[in-house]
Amino acid sequence: MIKRVLIANRGEIALRIQRTCRELGIETVAVYSDPDRNALHVRNADYAVRIGEGPALESYLVIDKIIDAAKQTGADAVHPGYGFLSENSRFVDACVEAGITFIGPTSEAMRALGGKVSARRLMEAAGVPIVPGANDIDAADFATAAAEAERIGFPLMVKASAGGGGRGIRLVQRAEDLENAMRAAGSEAASSFGDATIFLERYISPARHIEVQIVADHFGTVRAFGERECSIQRRNQKLVEEAPSVAVTPEIRKRLCDAAIAAAQSCGYRNAGTVEFLLDRDGNFYFLEVNARLQVEHPVTELVCGGIDLVALQIAVANGEPLSEEATTVDPTGWAIECRINGEDPYANFAPAVGLVDFVEYPNGPGVRFDTMLYSGLDIPVFYDSLLGKLIVWAETRPRAIERMRRALRDLVISGVQTNAPFHLALLEHPDFLSGDFSTGWLESTFVMPELAEDDERLEPALIAGAMAEQTTAGRSSAPGVGAADMSRWMHGAREIARRGIRHDGGTSGWRRGTASR
């Protein structure tokens, strides 16, 4: 049985895994780079090991350092989280060779599913619908690609065979643009993944991005936990996820879940994973890929499945336990929505934002969950992705879940660093989102971030209140005679700044769009 888990990750997902381990009586080992020395996942672990400098290539992506840290601390298992080494089959092999349990799928299943082309072939053989396309094309073989493209038809997608995270993907509308798209996708794939092989796929549009959470044990049992809607995307990156999907009927849900189970069985998959599909307006769906790990958006599934703990299920499967009927036969109920809170400025084309977090106040209340790495005084490093936390809500219906998310976003206070919270508030008021009438291309083609009315007469007191709140929470003493009621008004002002997306650039008149900042 697993007694000590090394978490080969950082940030909110490391904290998420730690909480489950603590509930199960399992000790945890944190690994950290120099910029993460004071991170919460380091503070909360039973053991912590430094693994290098800030860049991930010198720390979180170095397999030998992770294995050495596990050996030093006597960890008998590794949980990879998501990102970094979570889908690296060589890392799985290294764990096995060191006698360390890897909490995830086997390296064989990971390799079979890791390549987009090999995964397409597996799915086709298993009877899972795939998008018409052409596999294994050299990025410099323009003649072959042109002939295949004529067969497939335009528009089409050029995709990196070893791609992921939205990289190595290009949309091609016309034949004359194919060569440039292949060069760009191949170059990006080669630099990001060391493999310039591409494939072509018919462009399904409009389409929704629908995914199914699965967990499989060592005994051939595969359980599908319903679908998640992940169509709100910018630059192929998800921003909002919800469960269930407004576009999925019970009949479609059953077919999706059956296809996801078949996908897992096609390669002897074990542990947690996600099978992703494109769903068109006629109810037809096509295999997209398998993420052989825990997903960022797994909390929405947990909330609609009665609070089931997917990390606990991962650990149980890694321990060789069968999936119990009680733990896996929960029918999804209610509605859950997740907003990714990123360090970026929605009023400046989502430019990245890092730096010192002066003050943070978490939202709470019924049906609200905030998975985050943030605390007041945290210096956010520049080396990693922009995700600061995930705000998740559950309610009995989608309209109530939307209203609860609005309330939670307004209750969220982050001062010192810009976030995309104002974007989420604007999105939740858009009629297309409210009606559920959107697809993967909707955000970039239709949604426009509204301008902020800087002459709003309610703005000045909010700015003053926010400034006072920042001054107080940054460690300086409050003004003489400040009472609880005054402080409450100041904190309300700080929330108003965060809600309206205002920040200060210095001086007496430097307030502008963005989240409250020093």
Question: Catalytic residue positions?
Answer: 293
Which positions ≥6 away from 276 have C-beta within 8 Å? 209, 210, 211, 230, 287, 288, 289, 290, 291
Which positions ≥6 away from 359 have C-beta within 8 Å? 376, 413, 414, 415, 416, 469, 470, 473, 474, 494
The answer to whether the CB of 172 falls within 8 A of the CB of 160 is no
Q: How many CB atoms lie within 10 A of CB 43?
A: 12
Q: How far apart are CA 456 and CA 443, in angstroms?
A: 27
Q: How far apart are CA 494 and CA 463, in angstroms?
A: 8
Q: How far apart are CA 392 and CA 336, in angstroms?
A: 7
| CA 44 to chain CA centroid, nearest Å | 22
Which positions ≥6 away from 134 have C-beta within 8 Å? 145, 148, 149, 151, 152, 199, 200
> 307 — phi, psi (to 5°)?
80, 20
Instruction: Give the SS3 label for residue 458.
Output: coil
| Residue labelled with tokens 């809170």 | 341
The answer to whether the CB of 207 falls within 8 A of the CB of 170 is no
Q: How far apart are CA 434 and CA 432, in angstroms?
A: 5
β-bridge mates for residue 224, sequence order: 214
Q: How far apart are CA 437 and CA 67, in angstroms?
A: 47
Between 107-114 and 116-126, two packed helices, what is the crossing angle to 10 degrees? 100
Instruction: Give the SS3 label for residue 349.
Output: coil
User: How would you classify the pairing of strands 101-102 and 133-137?
Assistant: unpaired
The answer to whether the CB of 202 falls within 8 A of the CB of 286 is no
Q: Comparing C-alpha atoms, which of 434, 486, 493, 427 is closest to residue 459?
A: 493
Q: Comparing C-alpha atoms, which of 169, 167, 161 is closest to residue 191?
A: 167
Could you tell me the two tokens for 363?
């939202």
Q: How far apart are CA 272 and CA 295, in angstroms?
A: 9
Q: How far apart are CA 254 and CA 398, in angstroms?
A: 21
Instruction: Give the SS3 label for residue 464.
Output: helix
